[in-house]
Structure 1
Amino acid sequence: MKKIVNLQNDWPEKEIALQQLLLDEENIRLDLENKTQDAVIADLFVNEDAMQLLISIHKNGLFPDEIPVVIKNDGKYIVIDGNRRVVALKAMYTPGIAPKQFENRINKLMAGFEPIERIKVVVAPGREEADKYLAAKHTKNTRKPWSALRRAYFYYAQKEGGTNIETLIERYGNKEIPKYIRMYEMQRIATSLSGISDHVRQSVSSKNFEISTLERLYSDKYVQGKLGISFDPVTGQVAAPRNKAFDEVFSKIVTDVVDGRITSRKEIKDPRDREIYINSVVSSPIPKTPKAGAEKFTPKKIVTTGRKFLIPNTIISTLDSAAIDRVIEELQTVNYRKFPNLSADAMRSLLEAVLKKYFDRIGNSVPKKKGARYIFLQDALSHAKHHFSAEGNNEMRQIIERIEANKEFLEMINHNPSIFSTPDETRDTWDIMQELFIYVFEDTKRRRKKP
């Protein structure tokens, strides 16, 4: 008779001092030789929300079911699963390891608190076995290489931590680092624009933003001349006009990119195409002064308070479902402050329908549990979390996890006669979900356009 593998017995649990744990430098999904602990720490704080996890542990404690998986290599313990949690604990113990912009906040949080010094870990036999565990846990290969924009965030996190760009180039031997610095700063400028809608701002602010079309434009010398932008030949840092004319023109370009009116494969594929497009957008010369670096362009936040309607009119489904379209239209017209429970109920139904339809459309349908007649919301959420984990899309995975944490409340509104939703609870729940809906609709549109 075959035995079912029981990793709880096969992999021993051990209590280890935080100082003995090393973060997994293979977590940096780049083909680099000189990966360092400092680089991993900076990336986890700046790009993977380690600070939010630190605040949660400080407030709620370390839960017993959150045990990191490690391997032992040359007498050292390397964290394979649970790097964010471990770096948060390490920073609570030694705030100075965190990037400068987080250090003071951690010191204030920890004033009067004794940090955790030792934690339980599970010791895997080796990296190969640990990677198999991760692959099984997340359904596919979890070591998918980072996107270009995600790489840009990695390098820029170290720049913001105090490492100059020349040192980064020398450290990693990567002559493309200026390209990634340029990419990050152009995205930052895009998020600072006054002339884009909330929908466009949310899309372009995401680490998952498909930047290749915008990159093809701003890399064109003719386009640079028309926009009045320039790039440092050594560091890649951007200088751009800070005036109304530039804001209006670049807003139009960013909106066209987000809405799919231009793509790098068609409308602006060739130099002549880009020349025709930029001339159609720039009707009169943009004043070249005053010019400023990207750090002077402050990203704008979306204001969501005081609104009557739950879903903005800019949210438009691309899933070709009349039922989904109708629910969205209703939630765009119903005053959720007057009808918070009706809105919350419809929102829960919309979430389930959109996830099921989306995964059907991309050929990765949500499976039924064995013996089940129906697919439930939790089935769809679990499938989504595994899908986004496998894709390396941590932003969407984290949103799914936040929705899961809030799902019980949505279910209770349906089934418990003593539970009701307030307007603020309904609004906050939608605000957690909104980025997921935007991503799903935009990803569906992108896939449809692929040849």
Structure 2
Amino acid sequence: MAYHKLALSSLIVNPANDRHGELDSEAAAIAHLFATQEGHMRNLAKDIVLQNEVFEPPLVYPEGDKYVVADGNRRTTCLKLLTNPRQAPTVELQEFFAELKSKWSALEYIECRVEHDLDRVDEILFRRHTGVQKGIGQSNWTDRMQNNFVTRTGKGNGVHIADEIEKRLQAAGLLPSKKIPRANLSRLLSSEPLRNRVGISIKKGQFEIIRNEEQTLSVLRRIADDLAFKRVVLGDIWDTDSKSRYIDSLNREGLLPAEQATTKSEKKSKTPDISAKAKSARATKQVRWPHLIPNVKHDVVWGAHLQRHREIWEELQFRLNIDVHLNAISVLLRVLLELSIDNFVERAPCTTVHENDKLATKAGKVADQLFAEGSINKKYQGAIRKLQQGDGLLSIDTLNRYVHSPNFNVSPEHLRMLWNTLSEFITLCLRV
């Protein structure tokens, strides 16, 4: 295996590409790529121009004084047409590539992986493009893996966060004097909970300011400034914990925006009446979610310290069926509650909790602190404190009996009641 910088003019788009089978010329291969996936080819060309880079070197093999592309034909095609738009198969595509060429810093040479043994080329293609092959081939990411990547980097969520922030800072005359590292800005604000903390949100593909606009623009200006002048670099915001630490530092400086005040009429409109609740219940009954935790976002930033918490949460939200796995769900709910409380006690911190306090006592003390901080209201504080009453149906004692009693029966309805009571409390304990 060797990597070499090769002249783009020396590469041949493969007429025998496995995407389409054998064709009679490079021009026919190029035409076929656009005939079958024009939208993808256009988007790839735009990305190459935007990045001015090809991230994965094409795999090539020599044929005379040229090199045939075994893998990377789409990339190579786009590069060739950006260099010479007249090679595009239609007038419309020629105009498209001519316009892109005007914005592009031409690449005369491209790094390629050169293999002389065609059997080896086929072995590489087999591992790249024929599926997992029991672990031999490339293993595709699951939905969760893809979501982890988007959450970590901010890429692929449909809205370019850095673009949106730059537009608003520019309109307000708040852009820093140096260029903002856009990739780092998107990475920092890649998850909805972190975006919400600085006063912005992305919902249904729309960017919006959700807190005091002046304060939000001010903290966004500070973030942009820190990144532009390299007071904060990629290593400072690489993972969820480091991003949270940076946002926490802005909070300690009093820079995070206040939530918008809610009017009485708005509060009233947010409180559904009984008929609305009944309609919602009927709709839920028709297509009932089969797990304990509803399929909605709870805005928890899943840092590395919450790895086990997240695994339990996802089992309760996506894997364990509430009509089948009652005992497993009841035990895991009890474990999740305790781990969440311990997380709050350690990271908030909650200094009133003592090592020998029982779980119910810990829950009450944490609820008191959340109330004092303004995170919950008096009514909800009371609801959590009532969990200390051993004779209550909704109590910590009931959860303990789920774990320890050989005669205690578990019901789906009771578990759902417990979750409805505990969900906000658990979520708040995980957010610190």
Say yes or no: TM over 0.5: no
The structure with the larger Rg is: 2
Which bracket does the TM-score occupy, shorter chain normalised? Answer: 0.3 to 0.5
Give the TM-score normalised by structure 2.
0.33
Give the TM-score normalised by structure 1.
0.32
With CA pairs under 8 Å and 6+ residues apart, which has the higher RCO, 1 or 2? 1
